[in-house]
Chain A
Amino acid sequence: MSSDRERAPDADTEYQHPEDDGPEPEKHCGHGRGGMGEEVNRKEDKRFITGRGDYVDDIKKPGMLHCEIVRSPHAHARVEEIDGSRAEAMDEVVAVLTAEDLLAHDLATMPTLMDDTQDVLVNEKVKFQSQEVAAVIAEDRYAAKDGAQKVEVEYDVLDPVVDAEEALEDDAPLVRDELDDQEDNHIFDWETGDKEETDRVFEEADVTVEEDMLYQRLHPAPIETCGAVADWDPGKDKMTVHMTSQAPHAHRTLFSQVSGIPEHKVRIVSPDVGGGFGNKVPIYPGYVVAAAASYVLEEPVKWVEERSENIQTTGFARDYDMTGELAATEDGEIKGVKVDVLANHGAYNAAAQPSKFPAGFFNIFTGSYDIEAAHGSLTAAFTNTAPGGVAYRCSFRVTEAVYLIERMVKVLADELDVDPAEIRRKNFIPSEAFPYESATGWNYDSGDYEKALDKALEMADYEHYREEQQRRLEEDADKLIGIGISSFTEVVGAGPGKQCDIAGIEMFDSADLRVNPTGNAVLRVGVQTQGQGHETTFAQIVAEELGMDVDDITVEHGDTDTEPYGLGTYGSRSTPVAGAAAAVAARKVRDKAKSIAANELEAAEEDIEWDRESGEFHVAGAPDRSITITEIAAGAYMNHPGGEEPGLEATNYYDPPEMTYPFGSYIVVVEIDRETGEVDFEKFVAVDDCGNRINPMIIEGQIHGGLAQGIGTAMMEHVTYDDNGNVTGGDFMNYLLPTANEIPNFETGHTVTPSPHHPIGAKGVGESPTVGSPPAIVNAVVDAMSEAGVSHVEMPMTPDVVWEKLDEVGLSHQPARNVEFSVEDGEHADD
């Protein structure tokens, strides 16, 4: 343990830490044992930093075979014939599998999370480029790849449809002709809010604005691609699958349903996961192929994707083509919001969201504002592109919703010529209005939006940059300044189980806490870390609630044979749901500890009190008659009170009563080169409010990572296709991810508005920066040109896109003429 932990005098029993309005976040506010609010070093970092992490691809089993998937070069084609004989003739090749082989085991198709049916290996028709057509199983991965190159597939190539709008035209190629009731490429329509009321508000409004914007197709692009090692044990009739999973238990249930193997004979292990970001929530054909191959061949089979396979075939995110409208009074009071969306879902409806929410939580698009009328409509279409629509570091389409409203507020501010900070302030849901019910039916738990905005404005030196912006415009300077704001509100922490589910399983989560006789403890949770730091933060929750030292608690996750059932980690739900379960389980243990303490201290149980500050139990009125949790643990096993069960453990399955609503204000200052369109970040301020903070250092790390991803989104990332359905942005040469060179210095700050319904007042934070930052960045670029009439710039804002906008409104520059060169006669002095 570090010795420099300080006791914060202000940490009270409800963790209602007075908010720190100073420039530096508080470093320590706990009790010195690594509890709530302490910047404990991450327990998991030792193994990651020293190269001792265990990822799926690190697993080696005796006799293990390797799987390589043969993929279609075409986006839309009938498979006429598959000839695997040349591959099968290779010594190292064990088998070539096609849909026909899988049909024999009833494994040819698998359900998507939205209850569509996807081919595991193409049965009749390829529906997107790189779709899985056959699989080669060989003794090593090189031979598997060699074999895959030798599989000959004859295709009858069909016209593809790539664009969602074209897909809905009458003469569009039919993507899903195998479905009896599917006569076009339309998947579903979805509607929210009150259309009549919203139309009325728009008719009566002084001002209305409208803007089209595309949230382009992104890929979560985790550094570790997807993979699995499937191991069918014919002796035990048991299937063990080590796989890159963000939701091991849900995957166990789905695996059992797909394969027919009873669920108690299926074990899913998610070892260390190298980033998920929503990409590892769905089931992919490769997992099923590996399992089927292991079942048939009775040997372990490993399948690990290459980078381009990951980007080209696994769950993409976004691809929402949106039209937003706002209605307002002439002094900037927003009265109504409308949005219409065309969603490209790819070849299957394989979005990863609660099944009752076909458009996810998109109807949070009223954002941080008190808007009386709202209406949204959405149409989803099939196209010959990879399936997806996963929640890339966000809760189910919240990112698209936040982008829409934060962009529209800027459009309105420009239309009315008012300061974008002021128009936000004017329309924020007031802090005293919480809990607040939005026009689309969300129950916001708590918020103080103005406070976060004020703090961000101060940190960003907002007025200074506004003046600098004007000065540059007046001087016709070569570089323009733009200032963008995003005051976002998120909705995270799904369930409640009655509203949210995966394939029918309610979105609760779980924690199982066992205190050992020697006073340390193991906490098992149903969520699965992919870099979020659960092994540290969840231990901190227990340390806080039991007065233990954080180093005495081990957190385990990812193995369905030992962990309690949970729904996994995505949508910033781990702290809101499993974190709550951990706190409640620890409190149950604390209650039982009281009876043991009473026994040990020879007092009545109702006279035993627990002191959060010291972490000890003592007799009321006699603080020196105290006992530690370590002593109590010994008592639980070696001297347990008669009439009670021995041991000291508790389990909690937590179904959240509501979701949580973290928020924040981000301010981005950009400098734009008028000659080239290049955008530089001058300042990047992020003020977040995620309620009570468990580990400020981990939160800051999460914010930094998410902001980097937001910059990637706004500036360079895009999964592109050509008209033939070829993926043209399907590898890291063409799908651009930001590096440290593209990332500016971030200035982070925070406010603390606890969630009133969460056991420790926390809200979840992992996705706030990814959700909140893209509109701030786009608003900044637009802001630099808004006086010239620019209302929108599409992402990704590469230099050419920005320059074309500059040129369109007459802001582009030639290199300066005001330069003079003079040359002295004679020899050059330096040479």
Chain B
Amino acid sequence: MKSAPFEHYEPTTTNEATSLLESLDDPTILAGGQSLVPMLRFRLANPDVVVDINGIDSLDYLREEDGYLKLGALARHADVEDSDLIDERYGSFADTAPLVADPQIRNRGTVAGSVAQADPKGDWGSVLLAHEGEIVAEGPDGERVIPADEFFLLPYDTTLGEDELITEVRIPTPEPREGSAYHKLKRKTGDYAMAGVGARLVLDDDGRIETAGIGMTAVDITNAQATDAEQHLEGERPSADLFETAGELAAEASNPESDEHGGADYKERMVDVLAQRALGDAAERAGAVRRKVTQ
């Protein structure tokens, strides 16, 4: 890696980090480095100052607390992948982690860093959208909580302030009858998504869908929410027909472009397919029994 020269700061507390962000001129934050380091190597990024947060031990956590699943800014994709808590209670997270890039990247890359990067082809933004997740940031004025649906603006652009540091991403802990899932289509291990869909369903006591969340990857300028599809699901009982319509609505809500990851029409169709698959898994994980019927 032959980057241009830069100054490297290694704060060990969040306070130290935020005061560095405030005082330094145009600093760049280094967490897992899985997007930044390649950009440094290609000299697409030429920062004068890098604030490396890997020494802030207090940000290295993944736990349930106060009604949230909380991932500190240093929680790596591999931490999610290896977590028993995730395996037991968070289907979409358990689905997503092993689909992110490749094992080497997952060992270093962080969930919060991926969200901060705001690549529309990144996976975690869709999962946060499906779960009504939040981004917790520390800045000069203290802590700020940003709902995921108010976070993403444009490719690589978010509502995070230049002197703010993401300390945590979080989602509400599951309701009694909640299930979630993530489905992703890619050309090979390590490749970004051709398309991806995350879904979350909460069922009420009657077995109807009380809350639905759908987030989409790589089919718009940011990770995107399929609001019409969510509304169509709410108040209904899970069924193949219901999910088919929801899939169509999600596909309509998507806005993909043709590129090396496939044609726009194909991606739109795949949103439909992946949404139906994710909804089926989410319903099953919420307690619905899925069985094949002979036609």
**Hey, which bits of chain A sit against chain B, CB under 8 A?**
141-142, 145-146, 149, 306, 308, 675-678, 715-716, 720, 728-729, 733-734, 736-739, 741-742, 798-800, 803-804, 814-831
Contact = CB atoms under 8 A, between A and B. Distances in A.
Contacts of B237: 821, 823
Contacts of A728: 260
Contact of A149 (B4, B191, B207, B262): B4
Contacts of A826: 205
A676 B289 contact: no
A677 B266 CA distance: 10
Contacts of B191: 736
B283 to A, nearest CB: 5
A221 to B, nearest CB: 14
A570 to B, nearest CB: 27
Nearest to A742: B188
Nearest 3 pairs of A and B residues by beta carbon: A823-B207, A800-B262, A821-B238
Contacts of A715: 188
A585 B270 CA distance: 63
Nearest to A145: B2
Which one of B238, B266, B286 has the greatest number of beta carbons of chain A within 10 Å?
B266
Nearest to A738: B188
B290 A821 contact: yes
Interface string B261-295: 11100110110110011001001101111111111
B194 A739 contact: no
B102 interface: yes
Contact of B188 (A146, A739, A814, A818): A739
A53 B203 CA distance: 60
B244 A815 contact: yes
Interface residues of B, number: 54
Contacts of A818: 240, 292-295
18 contacts: A142-B2, A145-B43, A678-B185, A737-B188, A742-B189, A800-B194, A800-B261, A803-B266, A814-B244, A820-B290, A820-B292, A821-B238, A821-B280, A821-B289, A822-B291, A824-B287, A826-B205, A831-B177
B190 interface: yes
Given A821-B237, A823-B203, A799 B263 contact: no
A822 B289 contact: yes
B262 A819 contact: no
Contacts of B187: 716, 736, 798-799
A819 B280 contact: yes
B290 A741 contact: no
Contacts of A830: 287
A576 to B, nearest CB: 35
Nearest to A817: B240
Nearest to B42: A308
B171 to A, nearest CB: 16
B206 interface: yes
A741 B292 contact: no
A807 to B, nearest CB: 8
B185 A799 contact: yes
Interface in B189-203: 189-191, 194, 203
Contacts of A817: 240-241, 244, 295
B292 A822 contact: no
A172 B291 CA distance: 61
A739 B188 CA distance: 8
Given A798-B262, A819-B292, A821-B283, 4 more contacts: A716-B188, A815-B240, A816-B292, A826-B205
Nearest to B175: A831
Nearest to B283: A821
Contact of B289 (A146, A803, A823): A823
Given A720-B260, A741-B188, A815-B273, A823 B2 contact: no
Given A815-B247, A815-B276, A828-B286, A821 B239 contact: yes
B47 interface: no
B140 interface: no
A814 B42 CA distance: 42
Contact of A800 (B38, B263, B294): B263
A756 B115 CA distance: 64
B266 A800 contact: yes
Contacts of B283: 821
Contacts of B243: 815
B290 to A, nearest CB: 6
B220 to A, nearest CB: 18
A814 B287 CA distance: 24
Contact of A828 (B266, B287, B294): B287
A472 to B, nearest CB: 16
Contacts of B262: 798-800
Contacts of A804: 263, 266
Given A149-B43, A819-B291, A831-B176, A676 B273 contact: yes
B5 interface: yes
Contacts of A736: 187-188, 191
